[in-house]
Structure 1
Amino acid sequence: MSSQLANEASFEASIPAFFYKQWLVRRKPVPAGTDLSSQVAIITGSNSGLGLEAGRQLLQLGLSHLILAVRSQSRGDKAAEGLRKEFPNADVSIWLLDMCSYDSVITFVEQCKSLPKINMVILNAGLKGGAVFTAVESTGHEYSFQVNYISTALLTILLLPVLKSKHVVGSRQPVLTVVTSDSAYWTSIETPGPILAQLDKAKDYTAMSWYQKAKLLQYFFISKLAVEVNRDDVIVNLANPGLCRGTAFANTGDWSIITTLLFDTFKWINGRSVATGASNYVDAAVVKGEESHGSFVSEWAIRP
């Protein structure tokens, strides 16, 4: 992190900064002339919301092949049908991926090896847990933490050599963007002792806290991973959409009716549109270059 970003860090994590960014920082357009023709992109968690909209925006830039990685075949097919009607000249594929299953993650990576090239991957799959701590039977880890951090980290690591091998000489290196959240500013991790074990304790569980901690660990993971990955081979970065209206992030049974009404009202007043939020994905994966390697991209800029 540069000295300038370090100086801005305390403000970025403040409540005033949240409102400043949500209300006053305006969406930056993709540079004129940006052309993604002949390129291939993969987006996970993309049958609806921000992931689907990011795919739409990439297709608007001329993307040739979009792969929607989804858990549900029927929902994926419905999303793809809409995109195919809107962009009849593009190839839109549905690939299955269950982030709660290591076998599914490994199978998905093997499928990626069949592609002639991959220009960008946006790992958007994520969720907020329910009211009660629920562990994934096959792994023993809490459901949302499994998806938001553990399987996301695994998928990232497994994809890196694949992306490197798919780099076409003379073209821009592939980009792997992990979707995160600035809500990670407002949580902490106990550093003494094993970190993952902390997130396996049902007695300390709250859905929002586990979500924030998973996102914070994403920050640590990508910043450390970038040290080991040559930016000339693959660019890895984080993208934050900000608080958005019209997304699935809502009450999952852990909030009272009053809390739900308050949050929904707050989101309606302060939230961005899905299109604006998804444009941060496109900015990180398409517009930003090597300078974003290992960095947090939010509000169309590199942030601390």
Structure 2
Amino acid sequence: MFEWFFGKSFNPEHIPDLSGKVILITGGNTGLGKETVLQLAKHNPQEIFLAARTPSKAEDAIADIKTRVPNANISYIKLDLTSLASVKDAAEEIKSRSDRLDILINNAGIMAVPYSKTKDGYEIQFGTNHIGHSLLTKLLLPTLLETADQPGSDVRIINVSSAAHMMAPGIVYDQDLLESYITHRRYGQSKLANLLHARELQRRYPQITTTSLHPGVILTDLYASQKESNIFVRLALPLIKPFSLDVPGGAKNQLWAATADKKEVGSSYYWTPVGIKSGGSFWHAQKPQLAKELWDWTENELETQLKKLS
């Protein structure tokens, strides 16, 4: 009962040995992503690819992590999720540098920003958090599947979603119509899409352990960046703070999902911290037909975009 309410007792120091594993973490230069890189690096993976938009910030993060884990093999991959050309380039670079990929953590994201569109015409939060990660995952799937075919493999895809998926209006495909929704509902849609994407991946590719999760309420840079400009966040922060986690605490759920027993992790498509099984708190999250519908729509969009990039 206590575990169901408070979550599992999980200590990153007890992560099993990761020798031979190749790991990719998006948004690994700051916040939960950086903490995830740090903790995984302590357990001897073959290589960690840290994907981020700004080279200087990524290199600073790698240097800082190496002061604590001197032998860590961490490489920077330039990735701008608002540009599908950048996503394609990042995937090609990863495939050129490694013939295996054991763990993909789709961690990067933006939150509650004003309405605008990505370079490819998608609402900025939906385009960054869902479309960009969906293309990255699609392009890396052959490598993930090849790795999964190897004896003794344990391949995982982890989508960092959020309890904010409860604020989603459903999935609104009209990217212009999304301007009429408040920013937090648009953010909720992007997080619902992360959850549904993981759900459909889990159904289509059972040889890969795929799931999504809510990290908890963590006062990371996502909140700090909008504190001055967003009155909702400014008013909510004093109420949220007593119940919030620090960054090491907030990273635990994705670290657990990436390294705990694969049968347990794969038994749910969405987890609240730490390791509490959930079908998603919102009824849209519990619709398998919506997961398939979003998958089909996204695949069509990505194929169209890839033709433009070829």
Fold-level similarity (TM above 0.5): yes
Q: State the match for 1:97 in structure 2.
A: 79
* 1:223 counterpart residue number: 199
Q: How many residues are paired up? A: 272
| CA gap 1:76/1:181 in 2 versus in 1, 3 angstroms | same
The answer to which structure, 1 or 2, has the higher relative contact order (CA under 8 A, 6+ apart) is 1
Regions of 4+ moved over 6 Å: none
| Cα deviation digits, residues 204-259 of structure 1 (max 9, x gap) | 13221111011112222221232211x22x22111221101344234266522xx4
1:196 aligns with 2:169: no
The answer to whether the 8 A contact 1:244-1:267 is kept is no
Distance 1:292 1:32 in 2: 16
Kept in 2: contact 1:99–1:151 (CA 8 A):
yes
Q: Is the 8 A contact 2:223 2:233 kept in 1?
A: no
Alignment-derived partner of residue 289 in structure 2: none
2:273 aligns with 299
* 1:236 and 2:219 matched: no
Supply the distance in 2 between the matched residues of 1:157 and 1:168 (Cα, whole angstroms).
Answer: 17
The alpha-carbon distance between structure 1 residues 119 and 184, as it changes in their structure 2 partners (threshold 3 A), is same
Determine helix, strand or coil for the equivalent of 1:62. coil
Equivalents in 2 of 1:123, 1:203: separation in Å? 25
TM-score scaled by length of structure 1 = 0.81
Structure 2 CA distance, aligned partners of 1:226 and 1:26? 23
1:209 aligns with 2:191: no
The CA deviation at 1:91 is 0.8
Partner of 1:88: 70
State the 1:43 CA deviation. 0.4
User: Which structure carries more helix by proportion?
Assistant: 2
Tell me the C-alpha RMSD between the 2 structures. 2.3
Alpha-carbon distance in structure 2 between the residues aligned to 1:290 and 1:219: 19
- Deviations 1:3-47 (CA, angstroms, capped at 9, x unpaired): xxxxxxxxxxxxxxxxx96xx446423584711123221100111
Partner AA of 1:265 in structure 2:
P
8 A Cα contact 1:177 1:238, kept in partner? yes
Q: Deviations over 1:125-167 (max 9, x none)?
A: 1001423x2112x322111111011112222222211211234
Q: Please tell me the residue identity of whatever aligns with 2:219.
A: R
Q: TM-score, normalised by structure 2?
A: 0.80
Question: Residues 26 and 204 from structure 1, CA distance in 2 versus in 1: closer, same or farther, beyond 3 angstroms?
Answer: same
Give 3-state SS (helix, strand or coil) of 1:166's partner.
Answer: helix
Match of 1:152 in 2: 133
After superposition, where does 1:47-126 map in structure 2 within 5 Å? 47-114=29-96, 115-126=98-109
CA drift at 1:296 = 0.8
Bigger mean CA deviation after superposition, 68-77 or 215-224: 215-224
- TM-aligned CA deviation for residue 63 of structure 1: 2.6
Instruction: Return the alpha-carbon distance in structure 1 between the equivalents of residues 74 and 147 of structure 2.
Output: 19
Conserved? CA contact 1:247–1:274, under 8 Å: no
Corresponding letter in the other structure for 2:105: I
Q: CA deviation at 1:275?
A: 0.6
Distance 1:154 1:175 in 2: 17
Match for residue 3 of structure 1? none
1:145–1:211 Cα contact (<8 Å) kept: yes
Contact 2:213 2:271 in 1 (8 A): yes
Assess, with a 3 A threshold, how the Cα gap between structure 1 residues 120 and 202 changes in structure 2: closer, same or farther.
closer
Q: How far, CA to CA, are the matches of 1:274 and 1:33 in structure 2? A: 18
2:149 and 2:201 map into 1 onto residues whose CA distance is 23
Looking at structure 2, the residues matched to 261 and 182 of structure 1 have their Cα atoms a distance apart, in angstroms, of: 19
Secondary structure in 2 matching 1:211:
helix
**C-alpha separation between the residues in 1 aligned to 2:41 and 2:137?**
23
Q: Which residue of 1 aligns with 2:286?
A: none
Give the conservation status (yes or no) of the 8 Å contact 2:168–2:187: no
Q: For residue 279 of structure 1, report the CA deviation from its aligned partner.
A: 1.1
Determine the C-alpha separation between the residues in 1 that align with 2:235 and 2:38: 31
Per the alignment, residue 262 of structure 1 pairs with 235
The corresponding residue for 1:11 is: none
Letter in 1 for 2:42: Q
> In structure 2, what is the Cα distance between the partners aligned to 1:168 and 1:221?
22
